[in-house]
Structure 1
Amino acid sequence: MITVIFISIVLVLTCVGIHYFALVNLSLLRSRGTAHPRRWLNLMVLGAIIAHVTEILVFALGYRVVAANDKLGGLHHASGGDSEDFGYFSFVAYTSLGFGDILPHGELRFMTALETLTGLLLIAWTASFIFLEMQATWDQEKQGM
Structure 2
Amino acid sequence: MLSLFIGFTLVAALGLGHHYGLLAVRETTKGSDNHPRRVVVLTFLGLLAIHTVEILAFAGAYKALLAWGGLGSFGGGFDESWSGLVYFSGINFATLGYTQIETSGPIRMINMMQSLGGFMVLTWSATFLYSVSARAWQK
Same fold, TM exceeding 0.5? yes
Deviation at 1:36, TM superposition (A): 1.9
Q: Which amino acid aligns with 1:117?
A: L
The answer to whether the Cα contact below 8 Å between 1:22 and 1:51 also exists between their aligned partners in 2 is yes
Size of the aligned set, in residue pairs, is: 137
Equivalent position of 2:66 in the other structure: 67
**Aligned CA distance change for structure 1 residues 136 and 108 (closer, same or farther; 3 Å):** same
Specify every segment of 5 or more residues in structure 2 that has no aligned partner in the other structure, as ranges. Answer: none
1:83 and 2:80 are equivalent in the alignment: yes
Q: How do residues 1-145 of structure 1 correspond to structure 2 at under 5 angstroms?
A: 1-2=1-2, 4-34=3-33, 36-78=35-77, 83-84=80-81, 85-96=84-95, 98-140=97-139
Aligned letter for 1:128? T
Residues 137 and 114 from structure 1, CA distance in 2 versus in 1: closer, same or farther, beyond 3 angstroms? same
Question: Aligned Cα RMSD in Å?
Answer: 1.9
Residue 12 of structure 1: CA displacement?
1.1
> Based on CA coordinates, which of the two structures has the bigger radius of gyration?
1
TM normalised by structure 2 equals 0.87
Pick which of 17-26 and 116-125 moved more. 17-26
- Counting aligned pairs with the same residue, the percent is 28
Q: Could you give the per-residue CA deviations for residues 25-46 of structure 1, whole angstroms, max 9, x where no partner exists?
A: 2222333335622222111111
Residue type of the partner of 1:28?
E
Distance 1:73 1:58 in 2: 19
Q: Distance in 1 between matches of 2:134 and 2:49?
A: 22
Secondary structure of the corresponding residue to residue 75 of structure 1: strand
- Give the 4+ runs in structure 1 shifted more than 4 A: none
TM-score, L = length of structure 1: 0.84
| Partners of 1:105 and 1:83 in 2: CA distance | 15
